[in-house]
Each structure stands twice: as C-alpha cells, then as structure tokens.
Amino acid sequence: MAGTQRQGRFTFFWKEESPFSQWHRSEFVVDGVHYGCTEQYMMAGKARVFGDMEVLASILKTSAPKAQKALGRKVRNFDAATWERERERVVHEGNRAKFTQNASLLEALLATAGTELVEASPMDRIWGVGLSMDNPNIQDPSKWRGLNLLGKVLTRLREDLIAEGITVASVSASRASTHPAAAPGR
C-alpha cells in the first residue's frame, strides 16, 4: 500500500496515498452530508463543536484537504480544552463512516490486525508521532515525539469493527443494497 509500511508490531502510514491518512480521497455520507475525506469531516466537526456555521459551510464546499485544514484553523469561538475533549470522538466517527462505506478501505484496515497503527508524520506531534518512517526511533514508542492520536483512533476503530463482526463482504453487500448501480455485475 502506498504511504504505508508494516514493520513488526506496527503499521506506519503517512501522506494522502495511504488509506489511513485523513487526506486520502474517500467518499462517504454522514447524516445526509457528503464528505470527500476524513480531514473534511474532522474540520466540519470542529466547526460544529464551536457553532461556526459560516466556516462549516466553507469547509463543506471545498474539496482540497489542505484548504479544509486551513479553514478549520479559522473556526471562531475555538477553545483548546473543549477541542481536546471532542477531537478523538469526531475523528473516530468520521473514520468509522469512511471505512464502513468503502469496502476496499475496510479491507486495508482489517489487514493491519495484530499491529498498532502509527501516523509517521515528522511534523505532527498530536495526531502523529513526530517521526518519519525511516527514523530508527520510530520502532520505540518511548522515543516518539508525538501522541499518535490518529493511529490510536484507527487501531481502536479496527478492533471495534472486528468485535462487531463488520466484514468487507457485509460492507460490500450494504453498499450494493443502498447503491444498486455500485453492485457487481450491474
């Protein structure tokens, strides 16, 4: 998988080529709203948490993850403590929709079973570990410079989906029943 590397007990990922990236193109719908990636969902969720409907509308209109992130930084009435309480829930919800509405992405997530997902972003110390995949310290969690919140959310989500019996076949069947044109052979 592009942007993804399994090494021992870890699955490292970074950049939008990886299916685990927030910027990876992945169409999904939550409460009738269409999203093009989980970055858009996260930034929209941030705007909702703080009641900024103007920025929310702008986030939903743009398809570029970089622009969505920039808009998320403009959310009015932002409070760091509130966002720290809400951010993982928002990201979990978005990724649950992403992976349960896209069979190929779910297949990639389930294939990481038995490993801890790790966002190997050398620049992100909140959602990632602050180290790149090729940094030897990445193999030792005590040397990580970041919290790896995205990796933790994805690892927990994968375990939740496995416990719930969600499979690629069930997601494919659900998609075919709600989107007949997407069903194989049609």
Domain boundaries, the chain: 1-23+102-176, 27-100
Predicted pLDDT of residue 173: 84
Predicted pLDDT of residue 104: 96
Q: What is the pTM of this model?
A: 0.92
Position 102 pLDDT exceeds 50: yes
User: CA 153 to CA 151: how far, in whole Å?
Assistant: 6
Average pLDDT, the chain: 94
State percent of the chain over pLDDT 70. 94
Position 180 pLDDT exceeds 50: no
CB neighbour list of residue 162: distance below 8 Å, 6 or more residues apart = 110, 113
Closest CA to 4 of 160, 115, 142, 157: 115
Strand ranges (DSSP E) for 8-163? 10-13, 28-30, 33-35, 116-119
User: CA 62 to CA 99: how far, in whole Å?
Assistant: 22
User: CA 18 to CA 15: how far, in whole Å?
Assistant: 6
Chain segment 32-89, per-residue pLDDT in tens? 999 999 999 999 999 999 999 999 999 999 999 999 999 999 999 999 999 999 999 9
Strand ranges (DSSP E) for the chain? 4-7, 10-13, 28-30, 33-35, 116-119
User: CA 168 to CA 182: how far, in whole Å?
Assistant: 15
User: CA 170 to CA 84: how far, in whole Å?
Assistant: 33
User: CA 45 to CA 147: how far, in whole Å?
Assistant: 21
Within a 13 Å sphere around the CA of 170, how many CA atoms are in the beta-carbon half?
Answer: 9
